[in-house]
Structure 1
Amino acid sequence: MAKRRPVGNLLALAVLSVVVDRPMHPYEMAAVLRERGKDQDMPIKWGSLYTVVRNLERHGLLAAAESGRQGRRPERTVYRLTDAGRAELEDWTRELVAVPERESPRFTAGLSVLGVLPPDEATALLRQRLGRLESQLAEERAVLARHAREVPRLFLIEAEYDLAVREAEATWLRGLLDELTTGSLPGLAQWRAWHATGEVPAEWTELVERGSERA
């Protein structure tokens, strides 16, 4: 089970990972994170950056190194990583790498209620998704190959993983579309009948009732 973190927002992890290089003020942190594409690796709400930095300071994970003002610009505080912050960064990284957790992507949510759409529409939408996914994958492969000529692989492994997961999704989609197209998907006839008649198949009603009894 994941530990309860003093600042659990993944943006906090991203901030700690850039400040480990050198002290920075929040504006610079955001610039470096964007340059490194961290918003592609984890959900980042940029509007909460200053709140996250303040919370990290409040918990002793960051400390103000210096404050200064240039001309009429607002005062900027430069933050450094504390020993406790480094320990948190390392421990959090160990947990994320070693402990698998079930995640709930939006696609999983959509698949869980796919039956509310008629089979032909669901097939068309899945085929549309696959087409878009294949285009994205081709572009991402090209970008990764280009970066691999210039950047050590250590700094590209998260992109490799994301590509592998999305390629696995594309493979799975092709298999499901084949079952839908050939009519070999179990329950497809009942699915069609439900949308044609508006009546829930008796087999499905029995499944729901058995599930209710077990609950």
Structure 2
Amino acid sequence: MDVSKSMNEQLQEFIQKDKMCVIHDTERDERENSYWFAKSTFRFEEDKFEKLTRNTNNGFEMLSKSFEQEITTLIREEIKHNARGTEKATVKIRTRPFLAIWTEDTVTLRRNDIIKFNHVVTNVGNGYSPMTGKFKAPKQGTYFFGGTVVSAPPNALRMMLMKSRTSIMIPYASVTQGDSYTFTAVLQLKAGDTVYIQKDNRVEKAYGRYHSTFSGFMI
């Protein structure tokens, strides 16, 4: 028996086993390192995800609050706008203002002719009719009226401010070329009462051309 050879083989086997142990230990260390690296990486990514989620939630919360504030502001502005519009509409409906102008040239007016101020500038509620020349009160109340009539030679001009077939006053313009008479009146009217400008019992000429006007509104 070759003792030296046997010992040599035993030594080689021991060395080989030792190498295997070293390899196994190295693999085990690598696996452990990989495990701890993966775990730490996972924790890091988990922390990032939690922060991202938290920031996202905060962002959504802030966005939601901002959006809610914007919607609230828009609603409040819309309510104010509608309130102002309603207030203006109420005032317009209540006052019922109108303004009409006579655009005809020189016209001969006969007995009881009504001047039909044909060019309507303002007529809220359509209380004034250019077809009849009359304003019809939509409701009972106090009304203000004003107007101007212009004469045309060779005659003076006498007109009557009428309230439902009753003469209230007689605007008068002299024979002088283009003389005018401006009048105002405050009248108590019932719903359905009419106000208009009518010729008296004389035949006289009147002058339009945007110089003669008729207007009014509810006080």
Higher strand proportion (structure 1 or 2):
2
Higher helix proportion (structure 1 or 2):
1
Greater relative contact order (CA < 8 Å, ≥ 6 in sequence): 2
Question: Normalising to structure 2: TM-score of the pair?
Answer: 0.21
